[in-house]
Amino acid sequence: MKSMILIASLFIGSVSFANGEKIVCREKSGEKQITVVVRTGKSLPVKTEESVEARFEADIEVYGKSSLMPQISEVGVVETEDVLYNFTSSNKKITLHIYLDEIDQSLIIVNGKEIGLICF
């Protein structure tokens, strides 16, 4: 029963994220220093030779520990591949990997620094 609920939640999560909703991630460390919010926009064309299933315009915001305004706000592209979402900012300074089957293994890379995330 637990596995069926997990599979259903993963499917529902992937559908809503692909339909322009948002996903929120928190830093894995005990201090929870940052929050990351990704919002997808309109669908983009996918090249047929790629393993990418879908592409979307996206905005990403990175908030500090108690900040109401984002410290970083960038636009870019989300590409989906099976249970993996990859966000890359237009300036290539931010990369975010969200694994829907292992939510606690997600990570963001900002200017080369990796930060582990838990996404929901």
Tokens of 77: 């592209």
What does the pLDDT look like over 38-90, one tens digit per residue?
Answer: 998 888 887 766 678 888 899 999 998 888 999 999 999 998 888 888 999 99
Q: How many domains does the chain have?
A: 1
| Whole-prediction pTM | 0.76
Q: Quote the DSSP letter at residue 93.
A: S
What CA–CA distance (Å, rounded) separates 76 from 74? 7
What CA–CA distance (Å, rounded) separates 28 from 72? 19
Determine which helix (DSSP H) or strand (DSSP E) holds 54, and give its type and residue range: strand 54-63
> Which residue range is the domain that position 26 belongs to?
2-119
Q: Tell me the average pLDDT of the chain.
A: 81
